[in-house]
Amino acid sequence: PAGRPSRACLGRRACVTRKSCAQWSVHLAQALTFLHACDPPVIHRDLKPANLLLCSQGHLKVADFGLSSAKQRTMISSEAYVMTGRTGTIRYMAPEAMMVDDEGNSCYNENVDCYSAAMVMWYICMADKPFGDLDADLIMAGAANGLRPDLASIRRRHGEHMADTNQMCWDGDPTKRAD
C-alpha cells in the first residue's frame, strides 16, 4: 500500500540508504519533468515530504495538487508568471515565491518546484527538516539572502553528486537551477 515517506521510512536516519536517496531523487525529477512539460505547465507549488507517497515497490509519487497551478497565467517576461505569492510551505518554498507585492502576488515559474525538490531531497537524505527549528520569518529572510541547509553531511553520507545536485537545484537564481 502507498504511504507517506515522512511517516514510513524517512524519519529514521539508518533507513534511508544512498541507493534509496538516489532513486527517490530520480523519481521526483521524473515527476517534475512530466508536470512541467504539460501544456500549460503544471507547477505543484507545495512540494514537501508530506505531499509525497512511497508505494510498495519503493517508487516515490507526488501527491496533493491542491495548490498547483495549470491555468494560463499572465506572463510578465519570457521566464516568469504573475502568481499568488507565499503559496506552499515556507521551509520548502523558493525565495522568489516568498517575495510578494502589495496585492500578494509573486513572479516565478516552474523553477520554484526545482528549489522545493532540493529541500525535499535534503530532508530525505538527512531525515531532518531543512533549517531545523528556525521560524518562518527567519527562513524567509535567510533564504532570500542565500541561506541554505548544510551540504557537508550529504557529501559524507550520499556523495558529491547528491550534494552538487542539491546545490544546483536550490540556486538563488531561478534561471540557473537544474531542469
Grid coordinates representing 21 are: 536517496
Catalytic residue among 46, 101, 135, 137: 46
Quick one: three-class SS letters along 12-73?
CHHHCCHHHHHHHHHHHHHHHHHHHHCCCCCECCCCCHHHEEECCCCCEEECCCCCCECCCC
Q: How far apart are CA 40 and CA 61, in angstroms?
A: 21
46 is catalytic: yes
DSSP 107: E
Known catalytic residues are 46
